[in-house]
C-alpha cells in the first residue's frame, strides 16, 4: 500500500480533506495516509507552525496532499505554505485551468496552464523596517531559479502536447530583475525549436485574459505575478472552489488547491471540495495510478453534469451531499 502525507490544514481544510479521502477510498484505492498537522494549532505544543516531522514525512513519502493552512495577515508567523515550498525546494507551481462540465462561466474555451516560480521573487521574505514610516521588501530573481522554471514550462509543453510557452514579466520597469527572468527564458527557449514563444507584460496579460483567454496556452511567470494571475485564471473557470494546483520539485511534490482556508465558511459544511479533489486526481496521475484518477474524474464530472454542486457554483448541495453524490457516481 502506498503511503502519502496528508496535511489536512485548518479553516475548511479538514472538511474538504475528509471529503477527498472518502472519495479515494470509495474508488477502491487503498492509501496509507500519513496525517500531519501544521499551522497555528501546533505552535503552542511544538513552538513552530511547520514542525520538522512534517518535512520529514514528505521527504520520506515523496508525495503529499495538502489542504490550506491559514497565515496571519500583516503580523505573526511566516506562511507555512511559503516555508514548505522553500524547505523542500518545490520550485514549480503548476496550476492547470480548464473549464469543467456544466460550470457556467463567461468563457467556455479556457484551457491554459500557469507555471509559477515558487521559491524567490518578493516571496523570498526579505523585508525590513527602514524607519517608522518606511518598509522595504527585496525582490530576488536568480538565473538558476529562472532557468529551471523556464525549462520546466517548456518540458511541460513538450510532454503535454502544448504549442506555446508565453513568458510574463514587467521587464519594461524592472529591467534588472524581470529583465533577467526574460533573458533566461529567451535562452532556454532556444533548446525547444518546436514550441512557439511569446512575451507579454503582466498588466496587458490580465486585460487579455479577461477578454480572450483562449489565446493562451502555457504561461511562465515569476512568483508574485504567478500567484495573482492564477487566482484570476481560477475566476475564469468558476472560482477558487474548482482551481487545482501542484508544487513540484526534483525529489518530491505537494498537491494543493489554489484557494486558502476560507475562514468565512469554516465549519459550515459549505466548502467545495472540487479544487482539492482535482489536485488529488493530478496527484494520482503523478504516482501513475491512472485508472483510479480517471475513474474519480469521471465521477466528479458526472456529478457536475447532474447539476449537483456547492453554493460557490450556484448550487444547493452542501459539502457532504456533494461528496456522497461523487461517491455514488464512481
Ligand atoms: P481564500 O481562498 O481562503 O478565500 C477567498 C474566498 O473564496 C472566500 O470568500 C472563500 O469563502 C471562498 N472560497 C475559497 N475556497 C473555497 C472553497 N473550496 N469552496 C467555497 N468557497 C471557497 O482566501 P483568503 O480569504 O484570502 O485567505 C484565507 C487564509 O488562507 C489566509 O490566511 C491565507 O494566508 C490562507 N491561504 C492559504 C493558502 C494555502 O494554504 N495554500 C493559499 C491561499 C491563502
The CB of 40 under 6 Å from ligand 1? The reply is no
Distance (angstroms) between ligand 1 centre and the Cα of 317 equals 20
The pTM for the full model equals: 0.92
195 domain residue, yes or no: yes
| pLDDT recorded at residue 291 | 97
Give residues with Cβ within 8 angstroms of 218, minimum separation 6.
112, 113, 115, 153, 156, 157, 162, 164, 165, 166
| pLDDT recorded at residue 86 | 87
Residue 260: Cβ-neighbour burial (10 angstroms; 0-12, 13-18, 19+): middle
Domain hosting 186: range is: 106-236
| pLDDT recorded at residue 310 | 97
Is the same domain home to 50 and 130?
Answer: no
98 domain residue, yes or no: no
Distance (angstroms) between ligand 1 centre and the Cα of 10 equals 11
| pLDDT recorded at residue 43 | 85
Is the same domain home to 124 and 75?
Answer: no
Is the same domain home to 264 and 232?
Answer: no
Q: What is the distance between the alpha carbons of residues 247 and 68, in angstroms, rounded to a whole number?
A: 13
| pLDDT recorded at residue 75 | 75
**Residue where one domain finishes, among candidates 168, 202, 236:** 236
| pLDDT recorded at residue 11 | 95
242 domain residue, yes or no: no
The CB of 275 under 6 Å from ligand 1? The reply is yes
Is the same domain home to 194 and 84?
Answer: no
The CB of 95 under 6 Å from ligand 1? The reply is no
Is the same domain home to 116 and 232?
Answer: yes
101 domain residue, yes or no: no
The CB of 50 under 6 Å from ligand 1? The reply is no
| pLDDT recorded at residue 44 | 81
The CB of 61 under 6 Å from ligand 1? The reply is no
Neighbour-count burial for 206-226, b at 16+ CB within 10 Å, e otherwise = beebeeebeebbbbbbbbbbb
243 domain residue, yes or no: no
Q: What is the distance between the alpha carbons of residues 79 and 181, in angstroms, rounded to a whole number?
A: 25
The CB of 262 under 6 Å from ligand 1? The reply is yes
13 domain residue, yes or no: yes
Distance (angstroms) between ligand 1 centre and the Cα of 231 equals 10
139 C-beta neighbours (distance < 10 Å), count: 17
Is the same domain home to 166 and 216?
Answer: yes
| pLDDT recorded at residue 124 | 85
Which residue owns the Cα nearest ligand 1 atom 36? 260
**Residue where one domain finishes, among candidates 209, 236, 263:** 236
267 domain residue, yes or no: yes
How is residue 107 written as a grid cell?
A: 468563457
Low-confidence ranges of the chain (pLDDT < 50): none
Most informative mutation of 261, 265, 268, 275 for ligand 1 (most atoms within 8 A of CB):
261
The CB of 68 under 6 Å from ligand 1? The reply is yes
Is the same domain home to 141 and 216?
Answer: yes
Which CATH number is 189's domain given? Answer: 3.40.718.10
| pLDDT recorded at residue 78 | 81
Q: Which atom of ligand 1 is nearest to the CA of 263?
A: 28
Is the same domain home to 124 and 206?
Answer: yes
Which residue owns the Cα nearest ligand 1 atom 43? 260
Residue 84: Cβ-neighbour burial (10 angstroms; 0-12, 13-18, 19+): buried
Distance (angstroms) between ligand 1 centre and the Cα of 190 equals 39
244 domain residue, yes or no: no
Find, among 141, 126, 10, 12, the residue nearest to 78 by Cα. Answer: 126
Is the same domain home to 146 and 216?
Answer: yes
Number of domains composing the chain: 2
Amino acid at each position: 500500500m502506498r503511503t502519502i502525507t496528508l496535511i489536512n490544514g485548518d479553516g475548511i481544510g479538514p472538511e474538504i480533506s475528509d471529503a477527498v479521502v472518502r472519495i479515494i477510498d470509495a474508488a477502491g484505492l487503498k492509501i496509507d495516509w500519513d496525517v500531519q498537522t501544521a499551522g497555528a494549532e501546533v505552535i503552542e505544543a511544538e513552538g513552530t507552525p511547520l514542525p520538522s516531522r512534517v518535512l520529514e514525512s514528505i521527504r520520506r513519502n515523496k508525495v503529499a496532499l495538502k489542504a490550506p493552512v491559514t497565515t496571519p495577515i500583516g503580523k505573526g508567523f511566516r506562511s507555512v505554505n511559503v516555508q514548505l515550498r522553500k524547505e523542500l525546494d518545490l520550485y514549480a507551481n503548476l496550476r492547470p485551468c480548464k473549464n469543467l462540465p456544466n460550470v457556467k462561466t463567461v468563457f467556455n474555451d479556457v484551457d491554459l496552464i500557469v507555471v509559477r516560480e515558487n521559491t524567490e521573487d518578493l516571496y523570498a521574505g526579505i523585508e525590513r523596517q527602514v524607519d517608522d514610516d518606511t518598509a522595504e521588501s527585496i525582490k530576488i530573481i536568480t538565473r538558476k531559479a529562472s532557468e529551471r522554471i523556464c525549462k520546466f514550462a517548456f518540458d511541460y509543453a513538450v510532454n503535454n502536447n502544448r504549442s506555446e510557452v508565453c513568458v510574463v514579466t514587467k521587464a519594461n520597469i524592472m529591467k534588472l530583475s524581470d529583465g533577467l527572468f526574460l533573458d533566461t527564458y529567451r535562452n532556454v527557449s532556444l533548446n525547444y525549436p518546436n514550441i512557439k514563444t511569446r512575451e507579454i507584460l503582466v498588466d496587458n496579460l490580465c486585460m487579455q485574459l479577461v477578454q480572450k483567454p483562449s489565446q493562451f496556452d502555457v504561461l511562465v511567470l515569476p512568483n508574485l505575478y504567478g500567484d495573482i494571475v492564477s487566482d484570476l485564471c481560477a475566476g475564469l473557470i468558476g472560482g477558487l472552489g474548482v482551481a487545482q494546483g501542484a508544487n513540484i520539485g526534483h525529489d518530491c511534490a505537494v498537491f494543493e488547491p489554489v484557494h486558502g482556508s476560507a475562514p468565512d465558511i469554516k465549519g459550515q459544511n459549505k466548502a467545495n471540495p472540487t479544487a482539492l479533489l482535482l489536485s488529488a486526481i493530478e496527484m494520482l496521475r503523478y504516482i501513475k495510478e491512472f485508472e483510479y484518477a480517471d475513474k474519480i474524474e469521471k465521477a466528479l464530472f458526472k456529478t457536475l453534469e447532474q447539476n449537483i454542486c456547492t453554493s460557490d457554483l450556484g448550487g444547493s448541495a452542501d459539502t457532504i451531499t456533494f461528496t456522497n453524490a461523487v461517491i455514488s457516481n464512481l
